[in-house]
Every structure is written in structure tokens, then in C-alpha cells.
A and B are shown apart, each in its own frame.
Chain A
Amino acid sequence: MSAPLLEAQDLVVQFRGSGGTVRAVNGVSLTVRPGETLGLVGESGCGKSTLGRAMMGLTPLSGGSLRFSGEAVESRTAWAALRRQTAMIFQDPLNSLNPRLTVGETLAEVLRVHGKVPRAGVAGRVAELLTMVGLRPEFAARRPGSLSGGQCQRVGIARALAIEPKLVIADECVAALDVSIQAQIINLLIELKERIGLALVFIAHDLALVRRLCDRVAVMYLGRIVEEGPTEQVFGRPLHPYADALIRAIPEIDPDRPLPEAILAGEPPSPLRLPAGCALHPRCPRAFADCAGGQPPPLLPVEGREVACLLYRPASVPA
């Protein structure tokens, strides 16, 4: 197994508001290896986007540490180095592009700022990037307003690739697109992953897409990872009751499969007032007395993955 590209240890991100403090990311540890695709899934408000942003330093950390390519990311220069080698793809393809710049100018700006190619080589590299994401080089002269959603997202991907990143964080990058276009973008990401060995953190609420694309998946609930492991294992037999509910709630296009009965009762509690013990216990169909008190269950290795649930507490650990 290759050395980790990005290691996050006990990351905490807090937001202070009038109602109190929300721990959007509450002690998350995660590693991404070179060339690996990690899916980060969970429902809205679970902290997946905040975690993605925190891993790039776009949101200040309240606790925990990051290592990138084996180096601790603490100093300003270390953060700058991380940002030179990581890029982000955003959800709304149109709003994340400058409407007044042509596609070519948008890409050239990145190349210039990062000093990736000599001035004379910029036009050539722009054409190359566009070709890489399946757009004709003539698109360099167009502005975002004249592009479709799928084309805009391709430009967004080209912009991310312009810095020749080792790691790309894609936050709901196909959620705003139609299914037929969604499939085109997913295929492009699969192709790039194979061709240039890109490491990818794919943040999504659509679990079926994550299953298509990702090598590993981490399921989040209210700021914590509840299950993390190889995609096929987690999807094939989810162990954590929340991961199980989330996976069973995927609407399959199978006319013979009825609508699942109540999968999880109720709704997630307010992140301002998290329940004691396991945050899922008020909704969990398999909760028992121990779940309602004490510290949240830690992530422990179970069957080739990690699960944070007392159901899988090893016998040697006292209750």
C-alpha cells in the first residue's frame, strides 16, 4: 500500500452562532492515498462539505491536524504548498465560473498565477486541458453564459486540472446536472482517475454515484464518520445502522421492489443539541440502553472496515 497523500487527524471545525456552537466536523480522521477515490456521503448538514473545505484549508480548523505528502501542514508555506497541489470542483458549475471571462481566460489565469507554463505555452495548454475534459479547443473563446450546465462543469474540471493537482476535492459536482449529463461527467472522472492517477475526494449525497466511482467510502452523520471502508464491502453489507438505512433508501429503478417501509424514524436532531452517546440513538432501530449515554462510540475495525457502533464493540472493551 502506498504512503498516504493526505492524512487528517481528529479534525474539528466549529461555527459559533447566536444559538450556540455547532461542531460541523467533530473529530474526523481520514486518509487519502495517491490515485484513490474516496467517497464522502451523508445527508445535508452532516458536515461532509465542511470537511472537504477544511481539508483544503478553506475553512479554519478548530482542532486536529493535517499531513500532506508526509509533511505536517501547519505553517503558512505548508498550507500554500497544499493548495498548489489540490483543487476543488464545485456544485454549481455556472456560478463557480467568472461570467465575464472567456473559458480560455479562466484557464489561462490559473496557469499564470501558478506559473505552470511559460507565457508562450498558455494557449496550447488551454487547448490541451479542454481536450482532456472532452471539449473542443474552440470553447476557449466562449463565455460561461453560452455553455450548458454539463459543459460548464467540464470547464470547472479543466480549471481544477490546470494546476496539475495530486488531489481533487469534488463537492456535489454533478448534483445540479441531469442524469444523462451526470453520467457523462462521472465517466470523465473515471477516465481521468485511470489516465492521470488523480486522487479524488468525491462528496455526494447520491450513493449510487459513489458506488460507481469510488474505491472507498466514508459515511458521515452529524459531524462524525460512522462507517468507512472499501466501497463494495460497505455497500454490499453495511454494518452501521445509519449506513444501512442510507443505502436501503436509494431509490432503485426496480419496479418489483416496493417503497421501503420507514427506514429511519424521525429526522436528524439539531446540531446545536446533539444527544449524548451515539448521535443516532434516538432514531436507530437497533439502539439499546448503552447507546444513550457516555461518549460517542469510537471508530473500531470490524470486518475489514471501521465502524462506530456499540453493536460491534469487541468483547474485551468494557461497556
Chain B
Amino acid sequence: MSDALLDVQGLTVMSGRGSVVEDVGFKVAQGQVLGLVGESGSGKTVTCRAVIGLLPTGSLAITKGSVRLEGQELVGLDPLAMGKVRGRRIGMIFQNPSSHLDPVMRIGDQIGLAVRHHIGLSRREARAHGIELLRQVGIPDPAARIDNYPHELSGGMRQRAMIATALACDPQLVIADEPTTALDVTIQAQILRLLLDLRDKRGLAILLITHDLGVVAQTCDRIAVMYAGRIAEQGDKRRVLTSPHHPYTAALIRCQPASGGGQGVLPTILGQPPLVGAMPPGCRFHPRCSRMQPRCREVVPPLEAKGDGSEAACLYPIEAPVLEFGR
């Protein structure tokens, strides 16, 4: 995958208390959907903010690693040049559309802002472009909706409007941070379908950040599982979900209530994820791991390629397929 559109390598983000993201690497090719999965505090949102250069200044900073978009290094780019990448070549969709759309600005003006700034369209052209985008994201009666304020739209429609703003400048990559978490399941299915359709039509690459393995299973091509700031495992979606090598991946899949669909007690992961500044030595998962060996307390496991194309960071990985989806 040397032709990766987005190539992240050895990315490390430090806060005052310690590393929040450590040595994270992944690639996204054109037309591909990569799911970045993890629990809260695993560093998935910080990773995506680092990619688009939106880390809060002063408290978090990239200390190592590289982020390349089509070969162009984004780490260390000056703010002006980064501003030309963000919004233009990388679009962003956030969890809560209400807090990422300007409440006192009409939908059309918010879409228009980006295209007038980045592409230099006239006011009239921007409006026509905006109506077309709203139509593409499935908003009914777009010519009227374009003059609405965000509060006049429902939650699902607001999320569609935000997707339209993210697509305004025809980006190559869209980073979607929990885009459906705030939505109801039937609306979630509609939005995920929309993202996949846009991928098919425009050849978009999508970096989808989510805590929901069900969403990943239905939408992604590849998965990267994060735990405590590091990548625990990554690979083809099918491989990772059906034959995980990392004990954390396997445990995370098992404790999803949807697995198997049955009744009664769920398998759990003991304890809770560590906090920044109090990371355990060695493998960060070892205090909660059922396969822990003494060496796990001392050695940081490197991310190693497995025979089936997956990569896992575990000294004692699971080799045989352990999970089945009988149906």
C-alpha cells in the first residue's frame, strides 16, 4: 500500500502528564474506509485531531512521527498552509452537529464560506453549489433548506448538513469522528449508507472514528484498534473481527451485547483502562489481560505482521481463529 492517500507513521502526541498517543501508524488508500476503534480515552480522537492539525495549542503537541497526505508532510506545516489542506483536501464530520455548525448562520452560508474561501466561487455559484450538495446528502427540498438555520433542522438533517459542509470543496479524505453516535439507530443506518454511497461515487477515503464495533463491521474495509494511546491491532475488517490476534480485540468483541444476540451474563474485561500519566509499564493492557505473562510487565510489544495480513502488538498473540458468527 505505497499509494496510500493518508500515511501516518510513528505519531506521538504528548500532554503535560505523558503521552496521549504513542507511536501510532496507519494508512488509508483512496476509496477506502478505515475504522479507528477504541474506548473513551484510547486516543482515537486525539489521533484524528493531530492528523488535521487541530490539537489544542499549549496542552497537546505532536512530538514525533509523520502525517503524509499524498506524500506531502503535514506535521510542522505552517498554519496558513495547513489551512489550505484542512477543509479543502480533508473534510471533517464531528459527533455533535449542533456544536459544530454556527447556530446564527444559515446552512447555505456555512457551505458557501468554504467554497468561496478555498475555490473562489462567487456568491451565486456558491449558493447553487450548496443546493446541489444538500441534494446529494439527501436533504429534501434543498432550495428551501439552504436558507434554514441549524436549529430548524432535525438531528439527522443537521448531520447531513454537516456532511455537506465537509464535502463542499470536494476533499479526498473525510475524517468522521463518531458521526452517528448522537443519532437514533434507524437514522444512523441512513447516515452510514450515505457515507458509503459518497465513497462509491466520489472515491472518497474515509477515516471513521467510532467506539461501536457493529458500525465498523458494517461499513469499514480495514480496522485499527486502539488501546491506551497505542494501536493494539490492525488489518482487514473481516480478519480482525473473526480472528483477532490481540487479547484486547478479542475481549472487546466478546463483550459487545450484540455478539450472539443471546440472553444472560456478558463476558467482561476486568478493571478499567489506564489514565494518561499512569500508564502501566510494558504492554499497557497487561493488568486487564487474561493471557498475561511476566514478560508483559516489562517489554513494550511492537506491532508485528501476522501471517494473515493483520498486525498485532502482543507478545503472546492468539493464533487460532476464536470467534464465529453463526447465523
A205-B184 in contact given A178-B211, A251-B212 (Cβ < 8 Å): yes
| In the assembled complex, A150 has its CB within 8 A of some CB on chain B | yes
Q: How far is the CB of B208 from chain A (nearest CB, A)?
A: 12
Q: Which of B186, B256, B264 contacts A249 (CB 8 A)?
A: B186
In contact, B214 and A253 (Cβ under 8 angstroms): yes
Q: How far is the CB of B232 from chain A (nearest CB, A)?
A: 13
Q: Which of B39, B189, B238, B252 contacts A259 (CB 8 A)?
A: B189
| In the assembled complex, A235 has its CB within 8 A of some CB on chain B | yes
A253-B217 in contact given A43-B186, A183-B257 (Cβ < 8 Å): yes
Size category of the A interface is: 35 or more
In contact, A249 and B259 (Cβ under 8 angstroms): no
A150-B187 in contact given A253-B241, A255-B242 (Cβ < 8 Å): no
A150-B272 in contact given A43-B185, A252-B217 (Cβ < 8 Å): yes
Size category of the B interface is: 35 or more
The interface bits of chain A over 26-55 (1 if a CB of B lies within 8 angstroms of the residue's CB, else 0) are: 000000000000000001100000000000
A205-B264 in contact given A180-B252, A251-B215, A253-B217 (Cβ < 8 Å): no
Q: Which of B39, B217, B251, B263 contacts A254 (CB 8 A)?
A: B217
| In the assembled complex, B299 has its CB within 8 A of some CB on chain A | no
A182-B242 in contact given A251-B218, A255-B237, A262-B193 (Cβ < 8 Å): no
| In the assembled complex, A5 has its CB within 8 A of some CB on chain B | no
| In the assembled complex, A59 has its CB within 8 A of some CB on chain B | no
Task: Provide the bound-state CA to CA distance between A186 and B258, in Å.
Answer: 13
In contact, A245 and B186 (Cβ under 8 angstroms): yes
Q: Which of B155, B215, B257 contacts A186 (CB 8 A)?
A: B257
Q: How far is the CB of B34 from chain A (nearest CB, A)?
A: 15
A contact residues around B257 at 8 Å (CB)? 179, 182-183, 186, 206, 208-209, 211-212
Q: A179-B255, A183-B268, A206-B257 are in contact. List 10 more A-B contacts (CB 8 A).
A: A183-B255, A187-B268, A211-B257, A211-B263, A246-B185, A246-B186, A253-B241, A254-B241, A259-B193, A261-B193
Residue numbers of B with Cβ under 8 A of A are: 39-40, 154-157, 184-190, 192-193, 196, 211-219, 237-238, 241-242, 251-253, 255-259, 261-269, 272-273, 325, 327
